[in-house]
A and B are shown apart, each in its own frame.
Chain A
Amino acid sequence: MRNLLASGHRGCAGCCNAMAAKFTLMAAGEDCIVVSPTGCLEVMTTPYPESSWGVPWIHSLFENAAAVASGVEAALKAMGKAEKTKVLVIGGDGATIDIGIRSISGAFERGHDITYVCVDNEAYMNTGVQRSGGTPFDASTTTSPAGKVSFGNQRPKKNMPAIIVAHGSPYVATASLAYPKDMIRKIRAAIDTKGPTYVHVHSPCTTGWGFDTSKTVEVARLAVETAMWPMYEIENGRVIKVHKIKEQKPVEDYLKMQRRFKHLFTMEGGDEEIKKIQHIADTNVEEFGLIK
């Protein structure tokens, strides 16, 4: 399989975006056009006059990637090239869940034949780890810092896959960087499904979350094993497949590896907060039937 994302880009060691983009291109192959919104991936792969992209790639603005992809798809259709060339978006959680949600909603409602891959590292990493709608409960970020009277971000993650399902997307899946074969299979399935499809990839950020650069995959795997990140596939609104967990690990195993949750282990009342997070994981187990 040819690597379509050249090395030498400016990503951090252990960067989740580099892995996510590489796996996505492994799934898509050469005959695709990729749209990326503003973010780490765009900045690290395209410092003019260099580019890591081995496929045609376009970046316009932060909040319009899905609209740009709509236009690319429409142009291919108008010029008779739509059947073979696939149109993908690879964008971060801020560009997807927050600022770009209008253009995504429009593109999915209109039914363009595009596949949207959200690389969710749960905060605005490119600008210095600010809180996004994808930031989990109690995570400390630079705009939701833990402090004397705060345990960090006080809201749960926005459930973007559910929002996409509500748009009538024929294929929605969640994936994790710790399971690349599964991720590649899901992205391929999304591409092969006609219409607007969506894969939401849980993507630990070494810099923003505060863990060793060698631990990206380990942290990602723990999110799945603790049920903090449920993996499932939804076809036409119905859950068709769930990634089962043999033995659910306690959320502490996941939290304690990350600087963004460190305060929960040092602040008074932190143990109560961890119980709340365990409840989030347990609710995931229940909702998706994650335990074998």
Chain B
Amino acid sequence: MTSTRKLAKEKMMVVEGSYAVAHAVKVCRPNVISAYPITPQTHIVEDLSQFMADGEIPNCEYINVESEFSALSALVGASAAGARTYSATTSQGLELMHEVLFNVSGMRLPIVMTVANRAVSAPINIWNDQQDSISQRDTGWIQMHAEDPQEAADMVAQSFRIAEDRDVLLPVMPCMDAFVLSHVYEPMVLLEQDLVDEYLPPFEPEFVLDPKNPRTFGAFADPSTYTEFRYLQAKAMDKALEKVEEAANEFNEVFGRYYGGLIDEYEEEDAEIVIVAMGSIIGTVKDVIDKLRSKGEKVGLLKVRSFRPFPIEAVRKALKDARVIVVLDKNISMGLNEGALCTEIKACLYNTDIDAPVIGFMIGHGGRDVPPSTINHIIDQARDVMSSGITVESQFTDVREELI
């Protein structure tokens, strides 16, 4: 299935990406929202605060916490008490939460938290890249990346569906690129309350903090049981692979919009050069592909929508006929000199028959613009690799040599 968008014109409104996300949260009927302001997540939590002030979110408490650490910690208590919970953060705030992130997933609490992807300090920089969420890769959160504001909003409802599924019970981090998606105004369809109610059942957890049936949450596990907790968590991540697909398919049935499940493909079927990417850069890549296709060039796109769980099988299937694989990363793993997505793609092709060269480009750091010319330049290099093999496996893109 390829992406489809039923966007009834009479329902479309020009709104900011953050507003669409906040509205999506509202119609998902959260019970507790807890957040600490940080650029560029602020518009989401400001809009939610206004909804609260206008009495538009029934049966909900908004906690203005004193730090991101407490923002997520408060949701630990709220979720364990049976509340549907939401937060949003970015960059430094997400890094401050690091310890709590592990705790949430280990306690199997289905918290949903939007991340407006932003660069990390130092040097301090408020603009977009994806270093923040990528650095939380191993915390046990489901991590998904949206391509545009409509998908970011729709992904909120999908995230609650996936997180609260009793076969999953894991937190979900729907990611949207800072400013490029969070602050852009576009014609969008705001999620309809009646359709969300149809799509997302009420949160009814099996185990809650309840004096009538007292239970212990967060006990310590010694070496005789710790492994099994980790094993079950990993199994839940495996289960999430099908649930991510299911949530996307059923969303399509109810709302008529589909952006891919674990992955999406664009002009990919006969592509010789396949670009692999996540987030807002997808739009630029698609424009470039359209132009190249009109000239008869076989270039396609593999959009990774779910970074965790990583869709190994879907990626292998999508890349099986590629002649060169190009991975774009808005992050870098220092000391490996490549982005995390590039590493993951290479890893999942190992032990298969696919032997196409994989080249990585670290791109768009700290909000550096990625114009179509940059993508074209990368594709030029991919052509060289196709004809004469790899010379550089992974490299920075658009480095300003005069500053070095």
Contact = CB atoms under 8 A, between A and B. Distances in A.
Bound pair: A and B? yes
A80 B82 CA distance: 12
A33 B60 contact: no
B370 interface: no
Contacts of A76: 81
Contact of B63 (A30, A32, A71): A71
Nearest to A52: B216
B70 A32 contact: no
Interface string A91-133: 0000000000011011101100000000000000000000000
B210 interface: yes
Interface string B69-88: 11001111111111101000
Contacts of B209: 33, 56, 58, 72
Contacts of A30: 211
Interface stretch (A61-69, A190-198, A223-231): A61-69
A126 to B, nearest CB: 11
Interface string A35-76: 100000011001111110111111111011011111111111
A149 interface: no
B214 A75 contact: no
A79 interface: yes
A47 to B, nearest CB: 6
Contacts of B60: 78
A191 to B, nearest CB: 14
Contacts of B218: 42, 46, 58-60
A275 interface: no
A106 B215 CA distance: 27
Contact of A103 (B66, B103, B210): B66
B63 A72 contact: no
B214 A71 contact: no
Contact of B100 (A51, A61, A74, A75): A61
A31 interface: yes
A85 interface: yes
Interface centre among B34, B65, B85, B222 (most CB of A within 10 A): B65
Contact of A56 (B107, B214, B220): B214
B220 A78 contact: no
Interface residues of A, number: 47
A70 B220 contact: no
Contacts of A103: 66-67, 69-70, 73
Interface string B225-250: 10000000000000000000000000
A178 B215 CA distance: 30
A265 B82 CA distance: 56
A85 B69 CA distance: 26
B32 interface: yes
A276 interface: no
Contacts of B59: 78-80
A238 interface: no
Contacts of A47: 219-220, 222
Interface in A19-39: 30-33, 35
B211 A67 contact: no
A75 B81 contact: yes
Contacts of B75: 71
Given A30-B211, A78-B31, A105-B66, A57 B77 contact: no
Interface residues of B, number: 43
B63 A75 contact: no
B219 A60 contact: no
Contacts of A32: 211
Nearest to A36: B218
A116 B133 CA distance: 34
Given A46-B220, A71-B73, A74-B61, A102 B67 contact: yes
Contacts of B217: 56-59
Given A67-B70, A67-B73, A78 B83 contact: yes
B124 interface: no
Contacts of A51: 216, 219
Contacts of B85: 71
Contacts of A48: 219-222, 225
A43 B216 CA distance: 12
Contacts of B74: 67-68, 70-71, 74
Contact of A70 (B70, B80, B219): B70
A256 interface: no
Nearest to A59: B218
B376 interface: no
Interface in B149-206: none
A172 B171 CA distance: 37
B78 A67 contact: no
B69 A102 contact: yes
Contacts of B214: 53-57
B23 to A, nearest CB: 19
Contacts of A73: 77
Contacts of A181: none
Given A71-B78, A72-B80, A85 B211 contact: yes
B99 interface: yes
Given A54-B214, A60-B76, A75 B103 contact: no
B216 A46 contact: yes
Interface in B103-138: 103, 107
A134 B398 CA distance: 54
A102 B32 contact: no
A102 B66 contact: yes
Given A74-B32, A107-B70, 16 more contacts: A33-B209, A47-B219, A54-B214, A58-B80, A58-B217, A60-B77, A61-B103, A64-B69, A67-B77, A71-B73, A71-B79, A74-B61, A77-B61, A78-B60, A110-B63, A110-B64
